Amino acid sequence: MLELKNVHKKFGETTVLKDVSLKVDKGDVVAILGPSGSGKTTFLRCAGYLNRADSGKLIIGDEEYDLKKIKGKDLLRYRSRVGFVFQSFNLYGNKTALGNVTLGLKVAQKMKKEDADKIGRKLLEKVGLSDRADFYPSKLSGGQQQRVAIARALATNPEVIFFDEPTSALDPELTGEVLNVIKELADEGVTMIVVTHEMEFARKVATKVVFMENGEIVEENNSKDFFEHPQKERTREFIYKSS
């Protein structure tokens, strides 16, 4: 359904991604694990075209996007097919929860306010925030803000959602409510790639786990075999230390 092909990225002289490739099936929840600095976030940001790759492709369905440069019209289409949830929520402070969720629908898709609001309210209900539609981000907890960000990512009905460490800016007691929303999406069959440090989440929710180190995928497998029968010594060590 989705394929990332040979994503290569340097920052200055440092190569951060060494031709990383990944195949994802429809309904897969892929957890990307790995030590800090291994290139996980850069891989996701290149896939989400928030950083330009030096080379690499994203194939969705039968369309191929060049991650070095996606042009004009293609970019609009790409943006509606791929959702992104940031570590630090990235909500607009001057817009309400509903305003944040509907912005893409109104601006990029030129939907009428009335129609966009209807979809926005449904999505806020889905993430358990129907009573917070008119609240500004500063009046919401971190967990609530992240749930608004998830509702926003869902608004354009994307084929895949990328999550960059969605709970790492949250206090532990707020982590669960966000992971639960992601788990519900997984149960509904939403395709997701999640960079995370949450081993329990990877173990229980992910269908596939990818372990990265030094800009490369060291090991990937279905979640059960990844944790129960890691093939590489380095993977075993990482699982042991992180559990």
Structural tokens at position 86 = 């940031």
Binding ligand ADP (rule: CB under 6 A), the pick from 16, 178, 181, 182 is 16
Binding ligand ADP (rule: CB under 6 A), the pick from 3, 10, 11, 113 is 11
CB 193 within 8 Å of CB 205: no
Give the span between the Cα atoms of 50 and 63, in whole angstroms.
19
- How far out from the chain centre does Cα 185 lie? 12
Shortest spacing between CB 218 and ligand ADP, in angstroms: 12
Is the Cβ of residue 96 or residue 196 nearer to ligand ADP in the bound state?
A: 196
Binding-site residue total for ligand ADP (CB under 6 A)?
A: 10
Is the Cβ of residue 33 or residue 148 nearer to ligand ADP in the bound state?
A: 33
Is the Cβ of residue 41 or residue 96 nearer to ligand ADP in the bound state?
A: 41
Which residue type sits at 226? F
Shortest spacing between CB 144 and ligand ADP, in angstroms: 25
Is the Cβ of residue 34 or residue 142 nearer to ligand ADP in the bound state?
A: 34
CB atoms within 10 A of CB 47: 25
Stretch of 21-29, 38-46, 116-124, 224-232 contacting ligand ADP, by CB under 6 A: 38-46
CB atoms within 10 A of CB 189: 10
Binding ligand ADP (rule: CB under 6 A), the pick from 28, 29, 30, 40 is 40
Interface with ligand ADP, residue 36, by CB under 6 A: yes
Give the span between the Cα atoms of 238 and 160, in whole angstroms.
27
Stretch of 29-37, 104-112, 132-140, 146-154 contacting ligand ADP, by CB under 6 A: 29-37
Element (H, E) at 98: helix 97-107
Is the Cβ of residue 54 or residue 184 nearer to ligand ADP in the bound state?
A: 54
CB 60 within 8 Å of CB 2: yes
Burial of 55 (0-12, 13-18, 19+ CB in 10 A): middle
Give the span between the Cα atoms of 29 and 202, in whole angstroms.
9
Interface with ligand ADP, residue 243, by CB under 6 A: no
Stretch of 37-45, 76-84, 119-127, 130-138 contacting ligand ADP, by CB under 6 A: 37-45
Residues making contact with ligand ADP (CB under 6 A): 11, 16, 34, 36-42
